[in-house]
Amino acid sequence: MERSGDIGDLFGAGDNAAADDDAAAKGSKKAAKSMSKKPAKSTAKGDKAATGRTKDSYTANDIEVLEGLEPVRHRPGMYIGGTDERALHHLAAEILDNSMDEAVAGHASRIEIELDADYRLTIRDNGRGIPVDPHPKFKDKSALEVILTTLHSGGKFGGDAYATSGGLHGVGLSVVNALAEQLVVEVCKDKKLWTQTYERGKPVTALTDGGSVSNRRGTSVAFLPDPQIFGAGARFKPSILFRMARSKAYLFRGVEIRWSVDAKILKADDNTPETATLHFPGGLGDYLDSLLKTRKTLTQTPFAGEATFPNGAGRAEWAVAWPVDEDAFFNSYCNTVPTPQGGTHELGMRGALTKGLRAYGELTKNKQAAKLQAEDVVGGADIMLSVFIRDPQFQGQTKEKLSTADAQKLVENSVRDHFDHWLSASPEMATALLEHAIERAELRLKKRDDKQTKRQSATRRLRLPGKLADCANSTRDGTELFIVEGDSAGGSAKQGRDRKFQAILPLRGKILNVASATADKMRANQELNDLIEALGCGTRDRFIADDLRYEKIIIMTDADVDGAHIASLLMTFFYQEMPELIEQGYLYLAMPPLYRLSQGGKTMYARDDVHREKLMETEFKGRGKVEVSRFKGLGEMPPAQLKETTMAPANRTLIRVTVPGSHTDDEKIEAKATARLVEQLMGKKPELRFNYIQEHARFVEDIDI
């Protein structure tokens, strides 16, 4: 399993703040005695007398049934992908998607988004309003209460209320309700106002008749995320919400979105406006123009358009440009829902552009066009694609990847027809684009021929016994390099690895903090030299991604403060010296366990104290004595356990380290904020770290000392 974590968020976690002060981190060693046995308190006394069970028995009494919205609060990650900042803002996306569905269906023309001083978010539309009459199956409840308190309930299953929609599973609004400290819903329907208040998914008031209203219709949802789920310091970010609102307005040209945020919560360096009216009649074309601005492109005009699929299957809208700088991106959406992991609609777009340009080459007797592949045509392009289809199939509730098989053919056929006409209408532009794609193809083929990397030579150059334990694969496809701390951890990792594709590079203690070190110190540091040579891709302006010798670079450190400190130093090194390695998705953090819990034949592992307590309350609750062992470090773990929990792809959890993009103004602002944060926490000025600690100390709940 893999998760993503922005490098700014990872640095802002707190453990990594004092980069040049080891004293606090070293205190954790006193608490982490080598596999110290700590039996948990047993609740098994009297179990047998009360239930007739022994401590090792497994009966019907052990089976729990979660009802209503309990599963959401028990396992929020299943519904919103976690409890981090990204998951927090997914709550806003769920409510906004409901309003967008009303707009796309033609029933709403306006959406309002307000963020108050207390970070309460309100989203209202002028659509039809959620039904408030009694539900035919639950006659003692209104349809509104059923939707808010019952998973898999809604009006988007049968296809009559909505032709296309982003909501599919009937869980969006109910999940937000379950994870909100308080939620107030207002419905204006048939010139009447109805209100109801909920707390943590449960109604605290009845559906109340607020009297008659005129010139108002639709649904309003105001809520506060629950700090019990997301943490006491969790807050909506105005910049993220505004970017979300603006992207929705671009995606559907028939909606007007009105944005407002209380000025008190806007930071000095945040250029998010207090109020804005977002409406873009040109749709995706307007959006692409705003991104390109003064950037030069291969073609005078972008390839933009829209098409309706046959038999009422939906429609597509797109905008494509080929900038000379090849600073590329592919942003895709389905029913206004972002699909950052792509899917079948993206495959259809790639196929349409590739086959269309290849066919144009054949038409103009250019034999070189036959070698074109998708990466040659779309690799350097800026692409926006939005599709609206009936009953789309996504992977998971967070809807990050479209899996509807028909979408590929629908998009490819529709876009291909328009692309063929676009190329034929301007032979000069088409020829320039074709020649550019052929150049990319020739470069790709040359790199493929040179891809065989001599791994043995790299091992010989290190000449450090016990250092780089390389893998057997002759190419980097599927290979992984684990960077571990110390020879002890390196020994366990070498024994637990899969020699075919996993390599191990042990480092001696904490590496140099490159953010505060001089160039001479960096050149003289043997650990950094070993790492750079093992990777083989160079640094800074000499960085060549194709020369990287491994497909994944995994930082694997102990699950304590010392380990977090070393991981922060390594992330700083990659961020400063090899930023492209992070941008292209090669860098990961391993998640080794801190505790081992065992009872009889059952053994489970916990990442931290919170996870340990959660397992005690769920997996081992009321089942007798549980033996809890704390790992001092990776070197103390038996190789088999290290492989099972941290290294085997089938079982492990990896966090992919990410950085903000640089395509939009907002992303550029976030990138600058990340750079400032790294400098603040890891740079040469300790007073900046001191100020950061003072400012954020109130959010700390647990200190590992």
Q: Residue 528 in contact with residue 510, Cβ under 8 Å?
A: no
* Structure tokens belonging to residue 253: 């040209």
* Structure tokens belonging to residue 659: 């950085």
Determine how many CB atoms are found less than 10 A away from the CB of residue 220.
Answer: 21
Amino acid at 296: K
Beta-strand ranges (E) seen in 131-231 are 180-189, 192-199, 202-203, 208-212, 218-225
Q: Is 558 a catalytic residue?
A: yes
Give the active site residue among 85, 114, 562, 666.
Answer: 562
Give the active site residue among 560, 636, 670, 704.
Answer: 560
Query: What SS3 class is residue 555?
Result: strand
Q: Residue 514 in contact with residue 529, Cβ under 8 Å?
A: no
Give the active site residue among 114, 485, 644, 704.
Answer: 485
Q: Residue 593 in contact with residue 646, Cβ under 8 Å?
A: yes
Nearest one of 303, 306, 320 to 388, comparing CA atoms: 306
Nearest one of 185, 180, 113, 103 to 144, comparing CA atoms: 185
Element (H, E) at 394: none
What Cα–Cα distance (Å) separates residue 438 from each residue in 299, 353, 367, 544, 551? 16, 14, 10, 21, 26
Q: Is 485 a catalytic residue?
A: yes
Nearest one of 388, 367, 345 to 163, comparing CA atoms: 388
Nearest one of 138, 233, 122, 249 to 184, comparing CA atoms: 122
Nearest one of 158, 175, 156, 176 to 166, comparing CA atoms: 156
Residues in the chain: 705
Give the active site residue among 15, 558, 644, 666.
Answer: 558
What Cα–Cα distance (Å) separates residue 273 from each residue in 238, 260, 261? 9, 8, 8
Query: What SS3 class is residue 519?
Result: helix
Q: Which residues pair with 91 in a beta bridge?
A: none
Q: Could you report how far apart the first and last alpha carbons of the chain are, in Å?
A: 30
Residues classed as catalytic: 485, 558, 560, 562
